[in-house]
RNA sequence: GAGCCGGUAGCUCAGUCGGUAGAGCAACGGACUUUUAAUCCGUAGGUCCUGGGUUCGAUUCCCAGCCGGCUCACCA
């Protein structure tokens, strides 16, 4: 395990310590390089070519009947040495840059004795610059014939490269050995990224998704804003916060658990469409769907209701799916999922009525509690109807929501910030989007009546007093903002990490967060 | 928080029914001027997660702990 290695090997800067052989050997090479007057840590390199596009360009020109000069693909490549095969007076290296790999051929005759002897001081993981020209080897591989070699950055610690083989049948890359230990991969993401191109691709896809969402919202006239991470009161969701302290102000502040209440303040202020892609923080358990800090998209649109927002969410989802690549079809947890709109709509109460065989709004609370306990949901002491219905929904309905489904019209107690449903005051105009049994989005017609909002906050305060630690706090400043006047507004929250998981087929949130939260090592 | 599984060389892993451990790759030395999981010959590399217990002897058995994974609970 790498964790054990660290205490002894972390201090590479002090040669002479009892370092593992591999590090020692590299330090010796470093010394040899300096002795020869070669700077092992260069300042810059003028890159004119990249691996994959240059090979593509070569193959394209090869087909053309142009004259020799125009067909040449020459220049300077830079990358990391990801493979090395030495044959005495010639050698092959795999050079990997951000676009992929290209093979380099070093021949003593064309490189010269001096440069060629430098190869002996190279290691896997070194950054090198190569000047040369593409050609095709006897076995048909497009390869750089190196005319000059420059060391750009010496690698002192061995990267756990696996050997990559191309399956002749499918053409797929098979990696042997490699870097698989999940703990080490998360703790040393830099090494994980360096040796696992598939991991790099997941995070590129993540950025493509986020960029596409930004463009989508920008094009609809939404204004991207930034609201406080440090908040005097936390609200907008039900969760335990991280608590911190500002010394100069001598006051307690909370890391936000949501940005909802601030964004709606901005609608009060007259921005009619706003959004924020924010890091939110919830001081709760960690599992493969939860990380203490995670990325949330919230957007609010004046004059819209939750029906309007369902349409926006459908379009946003398909935009994101296209950005991730791979069309609308997805395999998640071994299940086929189709993200093509329109998504199914399922009333919360109807779904539960069917599962329970009774009307969830009329059934006595003790009956609901008994049914919930039957389902093995323990600790429902003091739980009100809302919490019980939510629990029952989670047990009976939610697991079956595999294809994208908007669950609509939630009970009022569950939704203190949502507007009452037209014609059914016990419900709210709220929807959640479920895919593969997981909640991806949460939205409502926002409650814009300050008097009703105060009453909801007071209901929450009562729940809180009754022992519900997740009930929300009264936010007087938010009420004041509503008193100035909030237009009818539709609002949506989308968990970006979970969306990326779905769209890239990753089964753990840690595989879509570059540096996930872990316990302290050692 | 509970249950199960795991932690052995730089990496991926095997193994020891209790007698201080192996392979492949990586590394080091050598051969090889079109290889591609290069090949061939040789060398070196270990606090077997940590602490305690049992034992003549523990990497192995027992207990506790640490870290990770999975499942469940919690996180609407």
Residue in the block written with tokens 């067909």: A71
Within A 368-397, residues with CB less than 7 Å from strand B = 376-379, 390-391, 394
- pLDDT higher than threshold 90 for residue A3: no
Nearest nt (C1') to A7 (CA)? B47
Nearest nt (C1') to A432 (CA)? B76
Within A 454-513, residues with CB less than 7 Å from strand B = 470, 507-508, 510
> What band does A447 get if pLDDT is binned at 50, 70 and 90?
very high
- pLDDT higher than threshold 50 for residue A6: no
Rounded distance in angstroms from the CA atom of residue A1 to the C1' atom of nucleotide B59: 15
Average pLDDT of the residues in A71-79: 93
Question: Over chain A, what is the mean pLDDT?
Answer: 89
Helix/strand/coil (H, E, C) string of A91-144?
Answer: EEEEEEECCEEEEEEEEHHHHCHHHHHHHHHCCCCCEEEEEEEEEECCCCCEEE
Within A 218-247, residues with CB less than 7 Å from strand B = 237-239
**A84 with A126: CB under 8 angstroms?**
no
- pLDDT higher than threshold 80 for residue A1: no
Lowest-pLDDT choice from A141-150, A377-386, A412-421: A377-386
Whole-angstrom distance, CA of residue A293 vs CA of residue A120? 46
Question: Higher-confidence residue: A14 or A105?
Answer: A105
Average pLDDT of the residues in A14-31: 72
Q: What is the CA radius of gyration of chain A?
A: 29
> How much is the pLDDT for A130?
96
Name every residue whose Cβ is closer than 8 Å to that of residue A457 and which is 6 or more positions away in sequence. Answer: A416, A472, A473, A474, A475, A479
- pLDDT higher than threshold 80 for residue A304: yes
Ramachandran class of A74: left when φ > 0, alpha when ψ lies in -120 to 50, beta otherwise? beta
> How much is the pLDDT for A381?
65
CA distances from A419 to A52, A240, A436 (A): 54, 24, 28
Give yes or no for CB of A452 within 7 Å of strand B.
no
Nearest nt (C1') to A289 (CA)? B75
> How much is the pLDDT for A335?
77
Count the helix, strand and coil residues of chain A and give each as a percent rounded to the nearest 5: 35, 30, 35
> How much is the pLDDT for A260?
95
Lowest-pLDDT choice from A323-327, A477-481, A493-497: A323-327
> How much is the pLDDT for A470?
73
Whole-angstrom distance, CA of residue A454 vs CA of residue A456? 5
Average pLDDT of the residues in A263-286: 95
Which SS3 state, helix, strand or coil, does residue A517 take? coil
> How much is the pLDDT for A467?
72
How crowded is residue A209: how many other Cβ atoms within 10 Å of its Cβ?
23
H helix intervals, A269-402: 306-324, 348-356, 365-374, 385-396
Nearest residue to nucleotide B6, by CA–C1' distance, is A181
How crowded is residue A330: how many other Cβ atoms within 10 Å of its Cβ?
19
What H or E segment, with its residue span, contains residue A406? strand A405-411
- Predicted TM-score of the model (pTM): 0.92
**A430 with A444: CB under 8 angstroms?**
yes
> What band does A255 get if pLDDT is binned at 50, 70 and 90?
very high
Average pLDDT of the residues in A409-422: 92
Note the pLDDT tens digit of each residue in A429-446: 999 999 988 899 999 999
Give yes or no for CB of A437 within 7 Å of strand B.
no
Average pLDDT of the residues in A473-496: 96
Question: Higher-confidence residue: A360 or A20?
Answer: A360
Question: Higher-confidence residue: A520 or A5?
Answer: A520
Lowest-pLDDT choice from A95-104, A138-147, A359-368, A507-516: A359-368
Helix/strand/coil (H, E, C) string of A145-174?
Answer: EEEEEEEEECCCCCCCCCEEEECCCCCCEE
Whole-angstrom distance, CA of residue A321 vs CA of residue A328? 6
Give yes or no for CB of A175 within 7 Å of strand B.
no
- pLDDT higher than threshold 70 for residue A65: no
- pLDDT higher than threshold 90 for residue A344: yes
Whole-angstrom distance, CA of residue A224 vs CA of residue A277? 8
**A258 with A236: CB under 8 angstroms?**
yes
**A25 with A19: CB under 8 angstroms?**
no
Peptide linkage before A224 cis (omega within 30 of 0): no
Average pLDDT of the residues in A241-254: 93
């Amino acid at each position: 395990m790498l964790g054990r290695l660290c205490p002894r090997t972390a201090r590479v800067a002090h040669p002479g310590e009892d370092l593992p052989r591999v590090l020692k050997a590299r330090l010796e090479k470093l010394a040899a390089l300096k002795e020869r007057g070669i700077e092992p840590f260069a300042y810059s390199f003028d890159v004119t070519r990249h691996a994959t596009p240059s090979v593509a360009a070569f193959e394209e020109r090869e087909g053309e009947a142009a004259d020799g000069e125009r067909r040449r693909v020459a220049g300077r490549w830079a990358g990391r040495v990801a493979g090395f095969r030495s044959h005495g007076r010639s050698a092959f290296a795999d050079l990997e840059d951000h676009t992929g790999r290209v093979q380099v051929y070093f021949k003593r005759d064309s490189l010269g004795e001096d440069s060629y002897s430098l190869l002996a001081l190279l290691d896997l993981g070194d950054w090198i610059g190569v000047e040369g020209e593409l050609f095709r080897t006897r076995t048909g591989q497009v390869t750089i014939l190196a005319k000059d070699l420059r060391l750009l950055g010496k690698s002192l610690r061995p990267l756990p490269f696996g050997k990559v083989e191309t399956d002749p049948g499918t053409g797929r890359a098979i990696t042997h050995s490699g870097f698989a230990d999940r703990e080490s991969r998360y703790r040393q993401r830099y090494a994980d990224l360096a040796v696992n191109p598939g991991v790099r691709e997941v995070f590129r896809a993540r950025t493509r998704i986020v960029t596409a969402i930004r463009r989508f919202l920008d094009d609809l006239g939404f204004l991207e804003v930034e609201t406080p991470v440090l908040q005097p009161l936390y609200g907008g969701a039900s969760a335990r916060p991280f608590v911190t302290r500002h010394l100069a102000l001598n006051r307690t502040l909370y890391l936000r658990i949501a940005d909802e209440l601030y964004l709606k303040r901005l609608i009060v202020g007259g921005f009619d469409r706003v959004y924020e892609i924010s890091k939110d923080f919830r001081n709760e358990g960690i599992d493969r769907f939860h990380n203490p800090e995670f990325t949330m998209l919230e957007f609010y649109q004046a004059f819209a209701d939750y029906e309007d927002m369902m349409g926006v969410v459908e379009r946003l989802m398909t935009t994101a799916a296209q950005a991730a690549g791979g069309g609308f079809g997805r395999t998640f947890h071994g299940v086929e999922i189709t993200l093509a709109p329109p998504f199914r709509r399922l009333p919360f109460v109807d779904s539960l009525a069917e599962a329970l065989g009774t009307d969830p709004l009329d059934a006595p609370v003790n009956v609901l509690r008994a049914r919930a306990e039957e389902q093995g949901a323990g600790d429902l002491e003091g739980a009100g109807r809302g919490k019980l219905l939510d629990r029952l929904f989670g047990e009976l309905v939610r697991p079956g929501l595999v294809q994208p489904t908007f669950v609509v019209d939630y009970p009022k107690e569950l939704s203190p910030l949502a507007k009452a449903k037209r014609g059914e005051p016990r419900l709210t105009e709220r929807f959640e989007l479920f895919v593969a049994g997981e909640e991806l989005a949460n939205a409502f017609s926002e409650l814009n009546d300050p008097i009703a909002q105060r009453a909801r906050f007071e209901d929450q305060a009562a729940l809180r007093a009754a022992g519900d630690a997740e009930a929300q706090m009264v936010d007087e400043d938010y009420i004041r903002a509503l008193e100035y006047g909030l237009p009818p507004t539709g609002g949506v929250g989308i968990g970006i990490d979970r969306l990326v998981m779905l769209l890239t087929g990753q089964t753990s949130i840690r595989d879509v967060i570059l540096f996930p939260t872990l316990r302290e090592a050692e």
